[in-house]
A = this chain, B = another copy of it.
Amino acid sequence: MGSIKAVRGGVTAPQGYRAAAVEARIKHPRPDLAMLVSDVPAVAAGMFTTNRIQAAPVRLCRDRVRRGRAQAILVNSGCANACTGTRGWADACRMATMAARALDIREPDMLVCSTGTIGIPMPMDRVEAAIPKLVAGLNRKGGDAAAKAIMTTDTVDKQEALEFRVNGKTVRIGGMCKGAGMIEPNMATMLAFLTTDAAVAPGALKQALRDAVNRSFNRITVDGDQSTNDTILFLANGMAGNRVLKPGHPAWRLFCEAVQTICLRLACRLVKDGEGATRFVTVCVKGAASDADAQKATRAIANSLLVKTSWFGADPNWGRVIDAVGYSGARVEESKVDIRYDRLRAVRSGQKDARTPLSDLEKVLRQQSFTVEVDLHLGRGTDTVYTCDCSVEYIKINAAYMT
């Protein structure tokens, strides 16, 4: 990473951001309403779920962020405000209006995100009552409280912050995210928020975000389900005082590297906290006829329930891996396929590598974290995704998570 170093503070690590959380009792008695505010209007960029059913706050954010500017975000857990019809849309708008008024900022600069159960209307009276307390609690160290308030089935909060220098100025990027189930590439079921005090040109911010998301959040999968609420928002308020970053600026690549780093770290935290996950697995396909083929293969492996359950059992069941590649739609010639678990070759030219003892493979699979690498030996296409196993606990969590 060279000159990029990790710091503490999450989304409030960069200058000019405040955050807070309160218990609005939206579903459970625990902090469930968070706010993140920039002291000045910021350049903003966002990416959203590709699900055709989209929650009201997703539609609101998508509309507003298109202007390339925002100042504050109100986020709740416990209720997704999805499949709530015209009432849900009115509720999302009203949340924005109330929060903008309480903060005394321009209404269009206010964004709203929700996560939780689908199909239940927002308890607006409780949200309304909580907003003044939330605004009163805003502070420069509130990143931690906010990261906890946006959790649903997450078992731990997920925060990162990085620091580096641009034009002799210290610049920071902070981030937090939530998500544990309904996680699949193409903006998994998750909310992620990034802040920076760097000055960044609007189009450039969007470009840096898109590239980073494609290499991080779009490469993770827990269960292959895509949610109605996925949102990632990025605010850049310029308070570090650097010359405006954009392609061509000497520090542009450093900035992009930092954005990618923070996104990848947050994304891997999501996977590690995957519902019931006991193992973190990097699935890498190389030698594919094309990158698109490699993607088909990594996704098929990472989403195969049979592959995921074998990982849970610490079973180097490469038969299930090659089976998934076979039905993925990628071009494959059985006699050319090699499969490795970490450095150990399990399959050579489509058959068991007799020189690798099963006990050695099992040792790899018993680790908390390992890589499954498939080489198709057909071309130069590659792809990598980050995923986890599927455990008994996953089923228990999701059989019990009430409507």
Using CB atoms and an 8 Å cutoff, list the residues of chain A in contact with chain B: 50-54, 80, 82-85, 117-120, 181-182, 184, 186, 223-228, 303-306, 309-310, 312-313, 315-320, 322-327, 330-332, 334-335, 347, 349-352, 358, 390-392, 394-396, 398-403
Nearest 10 A/B pairs, CB to CB: A118-B319, A313-B399, A53-B326, A309-B398, A226-B327, A51-B326, A223-B305, A119-B319, A312-B399, A317-B403
Are B332 and A52 closer than 8 Å at their CB atoms?
Answer: yes
Q: In the complex, how many angstroms separate the beta carbon of A359 from the nearest chain B beta carbon? A: 12
Nearest CB in chain B to that of A120: its residue: B352
Are A326 and B52 closer than 8 Å at their CB atoms?
Answer: yes
Neighbouring B residues of A396 by C-beta, 8 Å: 392
Q: Decide: A83 near B395, CB < 8 A? Known: A51-B327, A305-B223.
A: no
A-B contact pairs, 27 of them (CB 8 A): A50-B327, A51-B327, A53-B323, A53-B334, A80-B319, A83-B334, A83-B351, A85-B350, A119-B318, A119-B322, A119-B351, A119-B352, A224-B303, A226-B326, A228-B326, A305-B305, A309-B394, A310-B398, A310-B399, A313-B399, A315-B399, A315-B402, A315-B403, A317-B403, A391-B399, A392-B399, A394-B395
Q: In the complex, how many angstroms separate the beta carbon of A402 from the nearest chain B beta carbon? A: 6
- Distance in angstroms between the alpha carbons of A396 and B320 in the assembled complex: 16
Are B395 and A323 closer than 8 Å at their CB atoms?
Answer: no
- Distance in angstroms between the alpha carbons of A224 and B301 in the assembled complex: 12
- Distance in angstroms between the alpha carbons of A227 and B120 in the assembled complex: 40
Nearest CB in chain B to that of A87: its residue: B351
- Distance in angstroms between the alpha carbons of A223 and B320 in the assembled complex: 13
Q: Decide: A83 near B392, CB < 8 A? Known: A53-B325, A326-B52.
A: no
Neighbouring B residues of A305 by C-beta, 8 Å: 223-225, 305, 390, 394, 398
Q: In the complex, how many angstroms separate the beta carbon of A172 from the nearest chain B beta carbon? A: 35
Are B402 and A391 closer than 8 Å at their CB atoms?
Answer: no
